[in-house]
Structure 1
Amino acid sequence: MEMHVSLVPGLLELKNPVLSAAGTFGSGLEYLPYGDITQLGGIITNGLTLRPCMGSPMPRIAETPSGLLTSVGTQNDGAEHFIREVLPQLPWQDVPIIPNLNANFVDDFSELAGMLAAEEGVAALEVNLSCHNDNRSGQRFNQNPVTAARAVSAVKKAAKDKPVIAKLSPQIMDIVEVARSVEAAGADVISCIGKVQGLAVDVRERRAMLGNITGGLSGPAVKPLALRCVWQISRAVDIPVIGVGGIRCAVDVLEYLLVGAHAVAVGSASFSDPETIFRIVRDLPAVCEEYGIDDLSEFRSSLKV
């Protein structure tokens, strides 16, 4: 069965609809012992910043019922280190490499995009719009359709011919309004959802379970919310959507495609079992056959409502 997905014709072509999600797969090199990363649809890297970032205080991970609460704080060695030391080791000629951009100012997003887009090994850029906007008292970029659009527009201008993916979080008044605004600003693809902010506490110790107090919730607990967002957004925009949240098996992939996604990104499931994403890619053709799906493009958005 044909698994190929054309997210941006001629510019972002995937051999299958399964990508890794930012913040859960390292650069991709960390998962080489567990499978062939060139067989993935694409690799969205850990978040990158202009300068090295130490990240959040420990502890950074807490288990919750049906989910994982994390606060890593975008720890990374900076974009220059990625370009110089990491990107040359990645099989970018065989699988699309998509850096995830993190910044607190629009100008920083623009500078990051310009640096990375200039590299032949970078296929596209993902803009993390859940970042705090320091020009708006720390309000997240995607909480406001205007600031979300400004960030995407700046990245799109600096990225030149490289496709831009806008990653949205549901913790906003109207995710559809923000989706429309980033589409108008030039986004080629929308990814959703980013992590939902949550809190876990230890009653015995009277403490929060994360050093940063709050963190991002991911895993099966968020999948119904993510499916709803993908369904709403895919009906409101004309650009492809990547579904993210709670994907653990090939059937989960089909659920996202059914509600309108063109592709998916596997996240925290890779923490509990590093072979998860490789197993999903292997299983997907057989599961499609089991459900009588001959053409993914015809199956997409076929939810009966």
Structure 2
Amino acid sequence: MKKTTRVKMPQDQDISPDMSVDVGGLKLKNPVLLASGTCGYGVEIGDLIDLSALGGIVVKGLSLKPRQGNPPPRIAETPCGLLNSIGLENIGIEAFIRDKLPWLRKINTRVIVNILGNSQEEYASLARRIDGTDGIDAIEVNISCPNVLAGGLAIGADPNAAAGVTRAVKAATGLPVIVKLSPNVTDIVEIARAVTAAGADAISLINTPVGMAIDIDKRRPALGNVVGGLSGPAIKPIALRMVWQVAGAIDVPIIGIGGISSASDALEFLMAGASAIEVGTATLVKPSVAIDIIAGVRDYMKKNNFLRIDDLPIPRD
């Protein structure tokens, strides 16, 4: 992680902190994004909050063709969290560009498209289709998908496969490429280094850990797919630890994700070395939470004399 020199705000002047950040060439007005999967394609939450106040929105993951997803039940509440087994249901890239993107183009915020596939070729095809499409500012690559050519092993669990997908996407687009890492690995730093060496402009982490719940009355798994991804406050300590580890090992910007539901949570991730954060599950509880987080981070910076987001990371020896 690059070291930063803190610039203090003059005590005798009321200067608003600069909330803008540059994440691998993606310039954001502030470091707060809505995470993929929890805000649909934007229109679903557009009547509830002012999306133009955000740094950006990461739309629901998209594949080459529409996906039906997993059988219900797809969601199960857990203490301090949520299990979901949506199964990457989506309308496909063509329907998104035709039906959803025109609405998003009217919103004054950055639009990041999350892509998913089962092979390098699928990821590259998606990146080529997106490249140069008006209204899309960056690509987030979900590498938690199973690699069908490797017996179903998650791409993000294999450094070589993760690097291969990253190279394929980078070769297919001139947009900033953000690789979203899975926490379901032995060594998160190894994966981060692999995708960074392959050309990732930024890294977002973490995706959801795998979990399970059982309905004791029905005596069967609570989810139709048996297991699902755990999100919400329960995973924040895991996500924060991984952001800290990765920030100390690589030089590309990091977007922190996992259990962020307040300005204090966001500040922890920014202090751990993240350049920006994504808010996910908390949006389902309080749609305006991302707006509150922006205000809270700004207030903290003013109170503690920080001029820039880049001044927030904890110094490392």
Specify which of 185, 188, 193 is matched with residue 198 of structure 2.
185
Provide the C-alpha distance between the structure 1 equivalents of 2:157 and 2:54, rounded to a whole number of angstroms: 32
Q: What's the counterpart of residue 133 of structure 1?
A: 147
Q: What's the counterpart of residue 78 of structure 1?
A: 92
Superposition map of 1:5-154 within 5 A: 5-9=21-25, 12-91=26-105, 94-154=108-168
Quick check: 1:268 aligned with 2:286?
A: no
Q: Secondary structure at the match of 1:30?
A: coil
Provide the C-alpha distance between the structure 2 equivalents of 1:278 and 1:117, rounded to a whole number of angstroms: 30
Q: How many residues in Structure 1 have an aligned counterpart in Structure 2? A: 301
Aligned letter for 1:265? E
Percentage of identical aligned residues:
45
Contact between 1:38 and 1:91, CA under 8 Å: does it hold in 2? no
Provide the C-alpha distance between the structure 2 equivalents of 1:242 and 1:97, rounded to a whole number of angstroms: 15
Q: CA deviation at 1:50?
A: 0.4
Task: With a CA cutoff of 8 Å and minimum separation of 6, indicate the structure with the bigger relative contact order.
Answer: 2
Q: What's the counterpart of residue 210 of structure 1?
A: 223
Contact between 1:190 and 1:240, CA under 8 Å: does it hold in 2? yes
Contact between 1:54 and 1:75, CA under 8 Å: does it hold in 2? yes
Contact between 1:27 and 1:45, CA under 8 Å: does it hold in 2? yes
Provide the C-alpha distance between the structure 2 equivalents of 1:302 and 1:295, rounded to a whole number of angstroms: 15
Greater shift after overlay, 279-288 or 139-148? 279-288
Q: CA deviation at 1:88?
A: 1.0
Contact between 1:251 and 1:287, CA under 8 Å: does it hold in 2? no
Q: What's the counterpart of residue 247 of structure 2?
A: 234
TM-score, normalization: structure 2?
A: 0.92
Specify which of 293, 311, 316 is matched with residue 280 of structure 1.
293
Contact between 1:259 and 1:302, CA under 8 Å: does it hold in 2? no
Q: What's the counterpart of residue 4 of structure 2?
A: none
Provide the C-alpha distance between the structure 1 equivalents of 2:300 and 2:203, rounded to a whole number of angstroms: 26
Provide the C-alpha distance between the structure 2 equivalents of 1:293 and 1:150, rounded to a whole number of angstroms: 39
Q: Secondary structure at the match of 1:257?
A: helix
Q: CA deviation at 1:289?
A: 2.6
Superposition map of 1:194-209 within 5 A: 194-209=207-222
Q: What's the counterpart of residue 156 of structure 1?
A: 170
Q: Secondary structure at the match of 2:248?
A: helix
TM-score, normalization: structure 1?
A: 0.95
Provide the C-alpha distance between the structure 2 equivalents of 1:92 and 1:119, rounded to a whole number of angstroms: 14
